[in-house]
Amino acid sequence: MLPHRIPLAALTPAAFAPYGAVITSAGRDGRDINAGTTLRVDMPEPDILSHGGRPSLSVFRARPGSLPFEVKMMERHRLGSQTFVPMMGTPFVVMVALGATAPDMATLKAFRADGGAGITLGPDVWHHPLLALAAGDFVVLERKGEEVDCEIFDMPAGMWLVDEPVIAAAQ
């Protein structure tokens, strides 16, 4: 069976909007604080307090991955959002899908984040665990609660590969 290829798209706020928010100050207005020494740019607030949740702040130390990458599973957090912000400009891949009971393959997307912005995955969004393209640390803000909020989905038979887009040769 031929693999299903999922080309990487650039991570932009508009393209990523169905799945969550891009965490970047680019294109956003702010306000001066600290006697004018700092510009504060507010970001969309993550959803981490619902269902009796509380904030959990941690650092994920990512090991480097490479492309193409075979996707074998996806996960989702139904009760709250999950935010990833690279601390050292580490590029990473964000693979996401929508779907009520399983990832809807028609909504499956893969984005290349250049390390200059983070992302917040909305509650109930299917995603692949962190896939960094170089070693690096990520600040992760997520919901912590009494129950474990992580549902796993094994991808259907057949290879699913995340890969760079094929660029046609110049004519």
123 cis-preceded (ω within 30 degrees of 0): no
Which two tokens mark 139?
Answer: 């600040």
Q: Is the pLDDT of residue 67 over 50?
A: yes
pTM (two decimals): 0.89
Give CA–CA dist 168/171, Å, rounded. 9
Beta bridge partners of 137: 61
Give CA–CA dist 115/84, Å, rounded. 10
> Would you place residue 168 in the very low, low, confident or very high pLDDT band (cuts 50, 70, 90)?
very low
Would you give the distance in Å from CA 171 to the centre of its chain? 36
pLDDT at 2: 66
Q: Would you list the domain boundaries of the chain?
A: 4-163
Contacts of 83 (CB under 8 A, 6+ apart): 23, 46, 118, 119, 120, 121, 139, 140, 141, 142
Q: What sign does the CA torsion over 147, 73, 82, 80 have?
A: negative
Q: Is the pLDDT of residue 171 over 70?
A: no
pLDDT at 41: 92
Which two tokens mark 58?
Answer: 């941690």
Give CA–CA dist 24/120, Å, rounded. 11
Q: Domain spanning 4-163: which superfamily?
A: Ureidoglycolate hydrolase (2.60.120.480)
Cα distances (Å, whole numbers) of residue 134 to 54, 59, 64, 67, 114: 30, 15, 4, 11, 11
**Residues 5-64: pLDDT tens digits?**
888 999 999 999 999 999 998 888 999 999 999 999 998 889 999 889 999 999 999 999
Q: Is the pLDDT of residue 167 over 60?
A: no
> Would you place residue 169 in the very low, low, confident or very high pLDDT band (cuts 50, 70, 90)?
very low
**Residues 69-87: pLDDT tens digits?**
888 999 999 999 999 999 9
